[in-house]
């Protein structure tokens, strides 16, 4: 994940470099990496992440609807299946290991940070087109891959209670998902005027990045 | 398919009985049943049905987005996968048997009847809620099951060039899909005020039914 | 209306020149111009145009929602007010002169050509962004201005029962509306990658243009 | 504003009584009433309220699109005009009195509380129908009327720097706007199954109410 083939994505990330750094290098992330994150912070984050995943799946449903090419539809539908049929189960099993069962998480009050981030993404997608939607989704998908790769490379994994989480996002499967998202951004950018829309897209990308940082902060505040 | 367990669906169908009869008993359908449908009519229909399927899949993407319960999301995502990963392939293979290859169909000019029906359903779904969307989708899904069952029971199958088509929609798999759609309508109707919204829903259901009849007529006119 | 300042609009129109000609030079239009259009054709058209106007107003509501700049919101809201508060009343008064009262028109069955056109525009707008929406709206707005100007210049106005209709669209007010729509297309095109998205936009523009021609044909068929 | 004629609205408010109290009786509100609110808190609130108003106007554009009856369209369009043509100007003038000019406010970073609330409302409206949208809008519109009326009746107005703000929302014009919103909720509730959808609507109403309380808290935290 050290190099991105994608040009538009790279430019978007560079346009909000400070926000990107505040997100991917957040204190929550650092504390995951050295294992010092208080367990309540992690558990609070996990519960909200469950609620997040539901809206994330909805975003891929929206991406299927918004597509005007069969390959985009199939790609979005595959991501949707991956979330609903695989990731969600993994998340639920992972959370069970931390003592959180699914019905408890489903009944959690939604934190304002969760609301802000999920609804921002979905609404940007409804108001705009498929490129706007993916631009709002990308910081999450690609950012987690960067975080996973960085922590796996430089974090303290031995004895780290969050090792499994780190390895999940550092793993080849997830890195591949992120790479595909970058390629989607490039493909849609080429087809739908990404360069000419850059300022607008960078605003969306930066906003989603800041809302991701808020999501970490929410976890930290609960610790 | 002779009895519907569903009460809301039954009432919707009854509220547009003449339109429902004009759709399920259309001359195109009758001619499929006795094998007298001119081949060009069928081939034109098949090509437009390919274009229709793409928007039908988009409607299920929209249904995932519009869902506010995980079971509704999973049901819609399963239907979406069934369309994109199974039905579409079946349709393409079936059409190949009639000399229509996928790239040809993908490049067909969209008939106004196809536009009217597909965009009506999608737009009713965007303007309204998940119940509005399913109410617009139901005439297609359930109507084809009724047509298939009726033709299989009373049509002339031996030597009928359209036998495979009839048996596909008469088959247990498709009948099950239609039964599930009826159950979806009932479940959403109970949750989202189906009875109180009946007049409005009946208008949507009737409109979609008439647009389905127009779709048959489009095929017939091409014969 | 002989020259368009707008470059993107001009290119869109040129990309579907034959369809544009079939729409703006339709037999219905020609017969409006020399007064030979059968009255039942015109009255049928007027009734469906009333239903059309309602969805047209909805499209401007959608344009307000889809805007990401205050000037775009204000422009769309002004158009919306113009439709709901002025045009609709003018249309109703005009129709009254042809013996059609509003409650009768509101209760008319919607023609499939009306459904196809209105829902295509709205759905293209929901699936895409504000530029997609305006690209779908432009053939109607600008085409009527071209038709009005052409018929006023070359048609037979004296004794023509459709003179008032022609002069309405040929008039400075409506020509100004059309000019503003062209400017909106240019402004949004510049901001949202119009050139890079040209093929896609041209597909939408061409489709809307053909659906407009179908709308004339619907009137003619009713004559 | 002590009595609501509306039955559905009354039930919705009662279903989240504690949240409603936390919103309408928030410390920010109390401090407005006795004039003790720190000026920076008020100014921060005003700036974010400007950003809020833009999305609020977008919600009314969406309401026009989502309407399926001409009276609902006209009502939403009138509210939209009121916001864009009147309220926004009033807000800008009012803010100028506090040293905030429009271009400064337009360039403010959007607070996460503003994002959460505005996008929640818009997204609930897109995912659901017109009743869902108004249910998400109502806590703002009606809550401000209750707050204005309560503070005007029991607050300390003499010498209160926030007197003009209080009197704006306590005034007959705004009280009328709120009364109309309650009537809209009742009308749509009757037409679109409000009672049968009550649990779902109450969830939306409660969420929007809590996000309003967060909006006050955001102001207070900036003080």
Q: Mind listing the pLDDT tens digit of every residue in chain B (223 residues)? A: 444 445 999 999 999 999 999 999 999 999 999 999 999 999 999 999 999 999 999 999 999 999 999 999 999 999 999 999 888 988 999 999 999 999 999 999 999 999 999 999 999 999 999 999 999 999 999 999 999 999 999 879 999 999 999 999 999 999 999 999 999 999 999 999 999 999 999 999 999 999 999 999 999 999 8
Q: Tell me what pLDDT residue B143 has.
A: 97
Residue B106's Cβ-count burial label (10 Å; 0-12, 13-18, 19+) is: middle
* Active-site position among C16, C95, C140, C146: C140
Torsion angle of the four alpha carbons B67, A177, B80, B62, in this order, in degrees rounded to the nearest 10: 40
User: Considering CB atoms only, which of B110, B116, B126 is closest to C112?
Assistant: B116
Residues in chain A with CB shorter than 8 Å from the CB of D116 are: 112-113, 115-116, 119
Locate the chain B residue with the closest alpha carbon to D128.
Answer: B129
Task: Tell me the C-alpha distance between C41 and C32, whole Å.
Answer: 10
Question: Measured between CB atoms, does D92 come within 8 Å of chain A?
Answer: no
Q: Is D61 in contact with C76 (Cβ distance < 8 A)?
A: yes
D69, D123, D197: best to mutate for the B interface, most B CBs within 10 A: D197
pLDDT number for residue A130:
98
Residues 6+ apart with CB under 8 A from C59: C121, C122, C125, C133, C137, D65
User: In a mutagenesis test of the A interface, which of D115, D125, D132, D133 is the best target, namely the one with the most A β-carbons within 10 Å?
Assistant: D115
Q: Is B113 on the interface with C (CB under 8 A)?
A: yes
Q: How confident is the model at residue C3 (pLDDT cuts 50, 70, 90)?
A: very low
Query: Do B84 and A61 lie within an 8 Å CB cutoff?
Result: no
d(CA D52, CA D46): 10
* Identity of the residue in B129, B194, B200 whose CB atom sits nearest the CB atom of D128: B129
- Stretch D60-81: mean pLDDT, rounded? 95
The percentage of residues in chain D with a pLDDT greater than 70, rounded to a whole number, is 97
Instruction: Select from A57, A112, A204 the residue whose CB has the most chain D CBs within 10 Å, as the one to mutate to test that interface.
Output: A112
pLDDT at C5: 46
Query: Which pLDDT score, from 0 to 100, does residue D2 have?
Result: 42
Q: Is B69 at the interface with chain D, CB within 8 A? A: no
Nearest CB to D112; choose among A58, A116, A122 = A116
User: Distance between CA D191 and CA C70 in Å, rounded?
Assistant: 33
* B contacts of D68 (beta carbons < 8 Å): 127-128, 200
Q: Which residues of chain C lie closer than 8 angstroms to A126, CB-CB?
A: 126
Q: How confident is the model at residue A155 (pLDDT cuts 50, 70, 90)?
A: confident
Quick one: chain C helix, strand, coil %, rounded to 5?
A: 80, 0, 20
Residue B59: list chain A partners with CB under 8 A.
65
Contact C112 B214 (CB under 8 A): yes
Write out chain D in H/E/C secondary structure: CCCCCCHHHHHHHHHCHHHHHHHHCCHHHHHHHCCCCCHHHHHHHHHHHHHHHHHHHHHHHHHHHHCCCHHHHHHHHHHHHHHHHHHHHHHHHHHHHCCCCHHHHHCCCCCHHHHHHHHHHHHHHHHCCHHHHHHHHHHHHHHHHHHHHHHHHHCCCCCCCCHHHHHHHHCHHHHHHHHHHHHHHHHHHHHCCCCCCHHHHHHHHHHHHHHHHHHHHHHHHCC
Q: What is the pLDDT of residues C6-59, one digit of tens each?
A: 599 999 999 999 999 999 999 999 999 999 999 999 999 999 999 999 999 999
Tell me: pLDDT of D68 over 80.
yes
Contact flag B196-D195 (C-beta cutoff 8 Å): yes
Residue D131 C-alpha, separation from nearest chain B C-alpha, in angstroms: 9
Contact B107, B47 (CB under 8 A): no
- Does residue D108 belong to the interface with chain A, where contact is any CB pair within 8 Å? no
| Partner-chain residue, chosen from D58, D116, D127, that has the shortest CB–CB distance to A116 | D116
Q: Is residue C141 part of a domain?
A: yes
Q: Which of C65, C126, C193 sits opposite A197 (nearest CB)?
A: C193
Indicate whether A160 belongs to any domain. Answer: yes
- Alpha-carbon distance of C91 to C86, in angstroms, equals 9
* Chain D: touching chains (3 or more CB pairs < 8 Å): A, B, C
C112 in reach of chain A (CB within 8 A): no
- What torsion, rounded to 10 degrees, do the Cα atoms B34, B39, B40, B46 define? 80
What is residue D6's predicted lDDT score, i.e. its pLDDT? 55
B212 is catalytic: yes
Distance from CA of C32 to the nearest CA of A (A): 37
Whether residue C146 has pLDDT greater than 80 = yes
Q: Which residues of D touch A113 (CB under 8 A)?
A: 112, 116
* Helices A39-66 and B70-81: angle between axes, nearest 10 degrees: 40
Mean pLDDT of C138-150: 97
Of D110, D120, D214, the CB nearest to A119: D120
Closest to A193 (Cβ–Cβ): which among C66, C68, C194? C194
Chain B interface mutation, best of C108, C110, C120, highest count of B Cβ atoms under 10 Å: C120
Whether residue C140 has pLDDT greater than 70: yes
- The residue with tokens 């992120």 is A178
The nearest CA of chain C is from the CA of A200 a distance in Å of 8
Longest dimension (CA), chain D: 49
Q: Would you say how long chain B is, in residues? A: 223
Task: Provide mean pLDDT across the span D179-186.
Answer: 95
CATH number, residue B27: 1.20.910.10
Q: What is the pLDDT of residues D133-178, one digit of tens each?
A: 999 999 999 999 999 999 999 879 999 999 999 999 999 999 999 9
B46 touching chain A per CB within 8 A: no
- pLDDT at residue number A87: 87
Alpha-carbon gap: C61 to the closest alpha carbon of chain D (Å): 4
pTM of structure: 0.96
Nearest CA in chain B to D203: B68
Q: What angle do CA D131, D134, D138 make, to 5 degrees?
A: 140
Q: Say if D81 is an interface residue toward chain C (CB within 8 Å).
A: yes
Is residue D2 included in any domain, yes or no?
no
Residues 6+ apart with CB under 8 A from C113: B112, B116, C48, C211, C214, C215, C217, C218
State residue A169's pLDDT score.
94
| A34-61 pLDDT tens trace | 999 999 999 999 999 999 999 999 999 9
**What local confidence, expressed as pLDDT, does residue B87 receive?**
87
Task: Say if the Cβ atoms of A54 and B61 lie within 8 Å.
Answer: no
Q: How many domains does one find in chain D? A: 1
A 141-200 residues inside an 8 A Cβ radius of D: none
Which pLDDT belongs to residue B6?
54
Q: Which chains touch B (3 or more CB pairs under 8 A)?
A: A, C, D
Closest-CA distance, A113 to chain C, in angstroms, reads 23
Residue A28: pLDDT above 50?
Answer: yes
Contact flag B214-C110 (C-beta cutoff 8 Å): no
The string of DSSP codes covering C6-75 is -HHHHHHHHHTHHHHHHHHT-HHHHHHHTT-S-HHHHHHHHHHHHHHHHHHHHHHHHHHHH--SHHHHHH
> Is D134 within a domain?
yes
Confidence tier at C180 by pLDDT (50, 70, 90): very high
Return the residue matching tokens 């399920």.
B24
What angle is formed at CA A131 by the lines to CA B120 and CA A76, rounded to 5 degrees?
Answer: 70
pLDDT value at position C86?
A: 85
Task: State residue D90's pLDDT score.
Answer: 87
Of the candidates B57, B66, B73, the beta carbon closest to that of A84 is on: B73
Q: Does D122 contact chain C (CB < 8 Å)?
A: yes
Domain containing C189: what range? Answer: 40-221
Binned at pLDDT 50, 70 and 90, residue A3 comes out as very low
Locate C5 and state its tokens. 């300042």
C140 is catalytic: yes
pLDDT, average across residues C127-149: 97
Q: CB D196 to CB B200 under 8 A?
A: no
Active site members of D: 140, 212
Mean pLDDT, chain A, whole residue set: 94
pLDDT exceeds 50 at position D4: no
């Amino acid at each position: 994940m050290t190099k991105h083939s994608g040009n538009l994505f790279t430019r978007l990330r560079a346009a909000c470099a400070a926000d990107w750094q505040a997100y991917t290098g957040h204190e929550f992330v650092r504390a995951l990496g050295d294992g010092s994150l208080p367990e309540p912070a992690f558990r609070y984050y996990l519960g909200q992440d469950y609620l997040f995943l539901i809206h994330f799946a909805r975003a891929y449903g929206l991406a299927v609807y918004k597509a005007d090419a069969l390959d985009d539809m199939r790609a979005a539908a595959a991501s949707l299946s991956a979330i609903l049929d695989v990731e969600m189960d993994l998340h639920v099993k992972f959370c069970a290991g931390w003592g959180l069962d699914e019905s408890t998480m489903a009944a959690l009050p939604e934190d304002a940070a969760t609301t802000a981030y999920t609804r921002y993404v979905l609404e940007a997608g409804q108001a705009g087109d498929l490129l706007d939607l993916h631009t709002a989704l990308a910081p999450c998908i690609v950012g987690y891959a960067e975080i996973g790769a960085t922590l796996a490379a430089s974090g303290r994994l031995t004895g780290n209670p969050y090792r499994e989480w780190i390895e999940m996002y550092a793993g080849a499967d997830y890195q591949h998902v992120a790479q595909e998202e970058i390629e989607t951004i490039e493909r849609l950018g080429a087809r739908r005027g990404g360069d000419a829309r850059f300022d607008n897209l960078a605003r969306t990308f930066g906003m989603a990045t800041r809302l991701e940082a808020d999501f970490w902060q929410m976890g930290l505040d609960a610790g």
